[in-house]
Structure 1
Amino acid sequence: MPRIARRLLARLVVSGGLAVALGTAGLLAPAFAPSSASAAEDGGADRVVVGALRFTSSAPIFIAYERGYFADEGLDVAFSFFQGAQPVAVAIASGDVDFGLTALTGGFFNLARNGALKVIGGHFHEVPDHEGSAVLASNQAYDAGLTSPEALAGHSLAITQVGSSFHYMAGRIAEAAGFPLSEISLKPMQKVGAMIGALKSGQVDSMIIVPHIAHALDKAGAAKIIGWVNAYAPYQVTTLFTSTRNVAERPALVERFVRAYQRGIADYRAVMLDQEADPAATDEMTRLIHQYVYTDRPYDKAAPSIQAGAIYVNENARLDVGDVAAQVRWFQDQGLLATDFDHTDIVDTRFVEAYNVPD
């Protein structure tokens, strides 16, 4: 990781009282070290680096790239792949990456509070009528009575880091179920793989995870699905964000990027949110996504997981501003963020339709 990014990370860890332990270097390092993103010097396409995770949820970005939508906007896009959400925000703040597409976290909000980042669009949203994140119980905990999220009080739950989206979802479930979050024993594991291992072995009682992993664990008899986050906390899970410098100094480039991204979302929604409507189109899109997701598996093994991971993405990247505001307040109430800012300091609504905007 570049030196400036390490300095930003160190500041993030202590900023606003947030203790964020990102763990191993593998979590911090991108899959490859991108060149510094800048406008093309030869009059050609503008170079743009996108920080992403190799999940089906990132598919609209991959679709926009593979179908030439970024090229249509005069953008030369490269991807930098990460293993966690918070390092993407650090990379954008340091100038190594231009755009990110990951979950909102306490670390993200701390960097945004310091003036480094702006939320410019919506992406994955938990909605009542579409599978999103599942709540699972270990087999041991399930047999002992942990059969619904309402029973999580008194049990342990694996998360990646303090301040992660998993932490937030646990808090929203506890609130909806009527007990304090302190009654859940949160166990930071740094990586999703470690969370899964701890659940399967019974070291933790529960965890929250995306649907393709949840279904695979349940089907294999390794854990039990006991509920879905959308029943407790419909919310704006992931967003599109960029640096404050980009929105201030290169708004036309941001607009071009968003237009291409919106075209990718439209294609994704037309196929992956109703996969049975056109099996041939579903197969074609799944093969496109497979170039980025589960690349270590043959297509016939990867396809079911890719398709099961097709979460709901907001049409035209619409942004639920009210929910972003609610998340900021929640992290502040938990003592994980300073209280000297609100959502208006970190959201730029010029580029997509904003809805649920607070008065």
Structure 2
Amino acid sequence: MGIRAAGTGGPARRTRRAGAALLGLVVTLAVAACGGGDDGGGQAEGGDGGLTPVVVGALPTANTAALNLGVEQGFFEDEGLDVTVEYAQGGATMVTTLVSGDFDVIGAGYVPAISAMSQGLPLKFVVGGDLGADTDEAEWQTVLVKGDSPIQTPADLAGKRIAVNAVKGVLEVALRAALDELGVDSSSIELVEIPFPDMPANLESGNVDAAYAPEPFITSILDAGGRQVLAPPPTIAPGFINGAWETTDQFIAEQPEAVDAFVAGMTRAIEYAQENPDEVRRIIPTYTQIPQDVADRIRLPVFDAELDPAAIEELAQLAVRYEVIETAPAGEDMVYTGD
């Protein structure tokens, strides 16, 4: 499989015009869970010349560091936005909240948004977020077990209870695809939905046999004597796409300046995170419960603002394979280009 984002050396620069209003539609989703904009995007206009408020939904994980750095560094303010970050458990929750009108933009795994789009909900990816690493040692989302667990290899995961933050999300698709790639029957595993911050305790207590966790929880589990047994993203393909930033078509149509501004600010934030890994490590404890000494040692996400429609469509086909969705939308239909 060749699912990776094109141009992993840095975010693409494409002018995008989009906006900031939401669907007034409350939907219940049976889905779950993360090219760039022109750096000189036009500023969004707020009331009386002030900043336009934008509520952004995100996960309390290491890959949200770029967003928080962008807020702290004033990149969004420079574009005319007053960004408020709110946290959720998984991508499906955020998609539902986005469509219901409580979030303006969300940062989530691709799969929840693809699932929503496959059901006809008018969403678009507006800017990329992060990729998997090229090697098992560098991967920042892995499957871990307790130090005394009998599970030694990926083959031993067959038939086991494995924690994910949300079923029917990008982690489930990546995990099943990686196991099948290695010849392990992915249909034999039992997935248990547990928020990321609760995974270390549930693993230690034996409530689950393994946990598919991102940083900074990988380092916490390893510090407690745990072991890594599988790194799904690089097992599937180097640079496996993971997360992006999404909004609704109505949001795009009603306030194009605001989304254009968000894309510009987010692209700057991702570039900053790419160039300043020490700043990424510094900010993680400010929005998680991870101590600074742990944040100083974690494996950092691979930040990338580019969107690759072909890779997104490949991931959608995997979601069909694992019965997360029935049909895969065309990649180009899922990505907003500003045309």
CA deviation vs aligned residue, 1:289-332 (integer Å, no higher than 9, x gap): 443233xx7xxx33422651521111xx0113222212211222
Alpha-carbon separation, structure 1, partners of 2:236 and 2:338 = 27
TM-score (norm 1): 0.75
Asked whether the 8 Å contact 2:57–2:94 carries over to 1, the reply is: yes
Are 1:331 and 2:335 matched, yes or no?
Answer: no
- Rg larger in structure: 1
Give the CA deviation at 1:148.
2.2
Q: Give the 3-state SS of the residue equivalent to 2:54 in structure 1.
A: strand
The residue number in structure 1 matching 2:87 is: 81
Aligned match of 1:232: 235
TM-score, normalised via structure 2 length: 0.79
| Structure 2 residue 222 is matched with structure 1 residue 218 | yes
CA distance in 2, matches of 1:323, 1:270: 25
Q: CA deviation at 1:42?
A: 2.3
The 1:115/1:138 distance shift into structure 2, 3 A limit, reads: same
2:256 is matched with 251
Aligned residue number for residue 189 of structure 1? 193
From the superposition, tell whether residues 202 and 340 of structure 1 become closer, same or farther in structure 2 (CA, over 3 Å). closer
Match of 1:121 in 2: 127
Cα offset for 1:225? 1.4
Native 8 Å contact 2:117 2:329 kept in 1 = no
Contact 1:199 1:205 in 2 (8 A): yes
- Higher helix content, 1 or 2: 1
1:318 aligns with 2:309: no
Higher relative contact order (CA 8 A, sep 6+): 2
Residue 178 and residue 256 in structure 1: after superposition, are their counterparts in 2 closer, same or farther (change >3 A)? same
Query: Which consecutive unaligned segments of at least 5 residues does structure 1 have?
Result: 23-37, 273-281, 352-359
Q: Which residue of structure 2 aligns with residue 154 of structure 1?
A: 159
The answer to whether 1:136 aligns with 2:126 is: no
* Aligned residue runs from structure 1 range 64-103, under 5 A: 64-103=70-109
Report if aligned partners of 1:138, 1:204 keep a CA contact under 8 Å in 2: no
Name the SS for the 2:300 alignment partner. coil
Aligned to 1:305: 295
Shift of 1:268: 0.9
Q: Structure 2 unaligned runs (5+)?
A: 1-22, 34-43
| SS of aligned partner of 2:66 | helix
Measure the CA separation in 1 of the matches of 2:283 and 2:146.
Answer: 34
In the TM superposition, what whole-angstrom CA distance separates every residue of 1:201-231 from its partner, at most 9, and x where no partner exists?
Answer: 233322211133122212222x211232233
**1:270 correspondence with 2:275:** yes
In the alignment, structure 1 residue 260 sits paired with structure 2 residue 265: yes
Equivalent AA in structure 2 for residue 240 of structure 1? W
Q: CA deviation at 1:39?
A: 6.1
Distance change in 2, residues 1:328/1:248 (3 Å): same
Identity %: 23
| 1:348 to partner: Cα distance | 1.7
Change (3 A) 1:48 1:225: same
CA RMSD between the two structures: 2.7
Task: Name the aligned partner's letter for residue 321 of structure 2.
Answer: D
8 Å CA contact 1:56, 1:306 repeated in 2: no
**Cα distance in 2, alignment partners of residues 162 and 147 from structure 1:** 24
**Residues 1:104 and 1:5: Cα distance change in structure 2 (over 3 Å):** farther
Alignment CA distance shift 1:340-1:43 (3 Å): same
Distance 1:348 1:99, change over 3 A: same
- Partner SS, residue 88 of structure 1: helix
Cα distance change, pair 203–288 in 1 and its aligned pair in 2 (3 A): closer
Distance (Å, rounded) in 1 between the aligned partners of 2:337 and 2:328: 21
How far 1:285 sits from its partner (Å)?
5.3
